[in-house]
Structure 1
Amino acid sequence: MKVLYDHQSFTGMAYGGVTRYFYELMKSFARRNDIDFELSLKFSNNEYLDQSAFSRHFRFRRWAHLQQVNQVASALNRLYSVQRLKTNGFDVFHPTYYHKYFLNHLDGKPFVITFHDATSERYAKQYPEVGEHMTEVKKVLLPRADCIIAVSEYSKQEILRFFDVKPEKIKVIHLGSSFSHFKPARPFDPLPFSYLLYVGKRGLYKNFDGFFRAIQPVLQKYPDMHLVCAGGGAFSKQENELFHSARLGSRVHYRPITDTALFGLYQHATAFVFPSLNEGFGIPVLEAFSGGCPNVLSDRSSLPEVGADAAIYFDPENDESMAYAIERILSDSELRATLTRKGTERLKLFSCEKTAQQTFDVYKELTK
């Protein structure tokens, strides 16, 4: 059996949950002899693929900041994907995002689509940047897909809420994290202070502004506690002004991330805080479990499904609720130890290998 993956998510994303998902899926399949796959990709600056032997694409980091260069790379990648589709040398097609360019080139072959979240359906009016146009594309693709993989029960319910799709077409397959078996190539140099950890993008529905507003009195109460923001881009001028106006400029830090750096940050953090308003799954929860880091999570979307009783929760739109939960974790070492222990046990339910096997079973069923 051969599966064809396309270029879409890998064209413009250096990092991110969607590309990580497909990278881990292909990495798992590369170790097996009962499945073959191809990634139709010519141009990419994706950092995960730098670690792979299954993609022979060209990198253009020197020009990656130029929008026109990225547009040309995307157009060339799409032409290449169409070419690979037309060869008909595959059994199942699995697009890596929602563009519908491929629909006229499948020649009757089944296709699977993975649905991560309904952010564009929930928040496009409030945050147009998340892609209001995506809903119309999904309305075309989801009913036509032979199977829809939802990354959580929550995501499945989002599909049924926003789209006219038969429930039996949806298969829930939870994600895993490669951090559960991660062995750093070199030791991580711990930071010289105690800190709360925030990971990823900070804008829009990720709710960083609300989080920072809520924790200011907590940080004032605990003068030795810092905040570390990993990934998501360096602080903007506006963010730095916000931190300084709160008289916390010296205690809020940005760190770029590699896997080694991020894993080390989880290992040494007092707690990981995830204030997001909407997550289809929330891989950072598993990453924190892997690093033995207590989780303090938003009580929205999929996060309680993933964290279960191995985390404490807060209302992400209520400053007092958020501050109370964070202060609980800072003031109670026994609670932190309990959450770390429960997180280690909870992590056993999720793995990249389990995700790959269940996805393989979907492909196998469609090729009968």
Structure 2
Amino acid sequence: MKVLYDHQSFTGMAYGGVTRYFYELMRAFADRPDVDFELSLQFSNNEYLDRASFSKHRRFGLSHWRNVSRLASAVNRLYSIQRVRAHDFSVFHPTYYHNYFLRYLGNKPLVITFHDATSERYGKQYPEVGEHLYEAKKIQMQRADRIIAVSEFSKQEILRFFPIAPEKIDVVHLGTAFSRQRSPIPSVPGTHRYLLYVGKRGLYKNFARFFQAVRPILQRHPDLHLYCAGGGSFTATELAQFQAAGLGQRVHFRAITDSALYALYHHAEAFVFPSLNEGFGLPVLEAFSAGCPVVLSNRSSLPEVGADAALYFDPEQVDSMTESIEKVLTDSALRQQLRQRGAERLTHFSCEKTAEKTLAIYQQLAG
């Protein structure tokens, strides 16, 4: 049996949850004799693929030619079309929602993964998240033979927004590569205590409200700092906000590698995730893996993933957020309890389990 993955997410994303998901699937399959796969990709700057023996892509520069990324995307799509048209595969699993391949697929089995309904929930409020994606998703899901939802919450989102039969959907939870991290754990610059925020900060990620909630905590605890990992450097507006609160020297941005991010989780007083909408929420498992106490929004998939291993708050209520963060910060016994429960909760998730369940779906379709 052979699976064909296409170029889509790997063309435009240097890192992030979607490409990490497909990278971990292929990594799990790379040494198995019962499955073969191909990634139809010529050019990519994806950081995960740089360590992958199964990808023969080339990196492309961005500094000398404004349209080079667009050209790389066009070349990758032409190559994917060529590989789809060859029909040298048992199952096709595209990595994003563009439907360029449908006219060439014939009756070959199609599996798609649905990560979240952010564009359906927030597309009108935040057009940047892709309001236009609805029709493309709908066409792809109607053609698909099986749909993988990364959480029960994501499955319910499909049923809420799309005319799809529930029996067509399989829930396959994600895992984290952080569970493979080993000692020694890198140190973190500075000796101060800190809270940790991870990922993008705009739109539904709810960072502005989170900062309102954490500002009085930082002011009450002069030895406490806030680290924001990944998601791009601070904007001028954010920097001005920090300065206006008198906290310009205590809110820090950190660019991340896997080892650096693991260290940030490991040494943090707590990881706080105030997002209004997540299809799964991989940072929760990352924090569990690193022994970090977790404080979560009580929305979307996060209670499904965190279960009793996290403390929760209403992400639209600043006071609720402040109260939960303060409670974890000032109660060492609670932090230790959350670490223990996080380690127990993590046993329900792994990249290997994700790959096994996904492979069973492929095999069912391939006969």
Q: Which TM-score band applies after superposition, normalised by the shorter structure?
A: over 0.9
The CA distance in 2 between the partners of 1:31 and 1:276, in whole Å, is 36
Shift of 1:153: 0.1
Shift of 1:186: 7.0
Q: Determine helix, strand or coil for the equivalent of 2:141.
A: helix
Shift of 1:188: 3.3
Determine if contact 2:293/2:339 at 8 Å carries over to the other structure.
Answer: yes
The CA distance in 1 between the partners of 2:184 and 2:143, in whole Å, is 44
- Encode CA deviations 1:243-296: one digit per residue, 9 max, x unaligned: 001100000000000001000001000000000000000000000000000000
The CA distance in 1 between the partners of 2:321 and 2:254, in whole Å, is 23
2:38 matches 1:32: no
Q: CA RMSD in A?
A: 1.2
Runs of 4+ in 1 over 2 A off after TM superposition: 61-64, 183-191
The CA distance in 1 between the partners of 2:279 and 2:61, in whole Å, is 30
Alignment size in residue pairs: 367
Give aligned-pair identity as a percent: 66
Alignment of 1:154-193 (within 5 A): 154-183=153-182, 187-189=186-188, 191-193=190-192
CA 1:337–1:240 in 2, change beyond 3 Å: closer, same or farther? same
The residue that corresponds to 2:224 in the other structure is 225
Q: Determine helix, strand or coil for the equivalent of 2:197.
A: strand
The residue that corresponds to 2:119 in the other structure is 120
Q: Determine helix, strand or coil for the equivalent of 1:137.
A: helix
State the TM-score, normalized to the length of structure 1: 0.98
The CA distance in 2 between the partners of 1:114 and 1:107, in whole Å, is 20
Determine if contact 2:308/2:341 at 8 Å carries over to the other structure.
Answer: yes
State the TM-score, normalized to the length of structure 2: 0.98
The residue that corresponds to 2:92 in the other structure is 93
The CA distance in 2 between the partners of 1:114 and 1:191, in whole Å, is 41
Q: Determine helix, strand or coil for the equivalent of 1:250.
A: coil
The residue that corresponds to 1:7 in the other structure is 7
The residue that corresponds to 1:291 in the other structure is 290
2:203 matches 1:204: yes
Shift of 1:185: 7.5
Determine if contact 2:291/2:342 at 8 Å carries over to the other structure.
Answer: yes
After the TM superposition, which of the residue ranges 182-191 and 16-25 deviates more from structure 2?
182-191
Determine if contact 2:270/2:293 at 8 Å carries over to the other structure.
Answer: yes
2:347 matches 1:348: yes
The CA distance in 1 between the partners of 2:273 and 2:247, in whole Å, is 20
Query: Which amino acid is 1:32 matched to?
Result: R
Q: Determine helix, strand or coil for the equivalent of 1:57.
A: coil
Shift of 1:191: 3.4
After the TM superposition, which of the residue ranges 214-223 and 328-337 deviates more from structure 2?
214-223
The CA distance in 1 between the partners of 2:23 and 2:184, in whole Å, is 20
Q: Determine helix, strand or coil for the equivalent of 2:336.
A: helix
Query: Which amino acid is 2:30 matched to?
Result: A
Query: Which amino acid is 2:218 matched to?
Result: L
Determine if contact 1:190/1:264 at 8 Å carries over to the other structure.
Answer: no
The residue that corresponds to 1:18 in the other structure is 18
Shift of 1:311: 0.1
2:365 matches 1:366: yes
Determine if contact 1:41/1:57 at 8 Å carries over to the other structure.
Answer: yes
Q: Which runs of no fewer than 5 residues in structure 1 stay unpaired? A: none
Determine if contact 1:185/1:260 at 8 Å carries over to the other structure.
Answer: no
The residue that corresponds to 1:331 in the other structure is 330
After the TM superposition, which of the residue ranges 189-198 and 137-146 deviates more from structure 2?
189-198
Query: Which amino acid is 1:19 matched to?
Result: T
- Encode CA deviations 1:29-79: one digit per residue, 9 max, x unaligned: 112111000000011100010111111111013439x65221111111000
The residue that corresponds to 1:60 in the other structure is 60
The residue that corresponds to 2:248 in the other structure is 249
Query: Which amino acid is 1:296 matched to?
Result: V
Determine if contact 2:116/2:278 at 8 Å carries over to the other structure.
Answer: yes
Q: Determine helix, strand or coil for the equivalent of 2:56.
A: coil
Query: Which amino acid is 2:278 matched to?
Result: E
Shift of 1:189: 4.1
